[in-house]
Amino acid sequence: MLYQAAFHLEREVDYGVKRLSSSIEPALTVLLGGIMLVVALALYLPLFDLSRILRR
């Protein structure tokens, strides 16, 4: 009896975790893309400013 209850509750928890992780995954992808954009801009904007200063 307890084995059946534990099995049922474990299946519910596994299903809930899978749903939660599948719903969070797109948001994490967008967040990591935004972080990479900020890092890339932090690296390249000073170089663009430097090349603009050197052209004068």
> How confident is the model over 33-48, as pLDDT tens digits?
999 999 999 999 998 8
- How many Cβ atoms are within 10 Å of 49's Cβ, its own excluded? 10
The pLDDT of residue 56 is: 72
* Domain map (residue ranges) of the chain: 1-56
| Rounded Cα–Cα distance for residues 23 and 33 (Å) | 17
Can you say whether the dihedral through the CA atoms of 23, 26, 29, 33 is positive or negative? negative
Q: What is the pTM of this model?
A: 0.63
Would you state the pLDDT for residue 4?
Answer: 92
Confidence of residue 12 (pLDDT cuts 50, 70, 90): very high
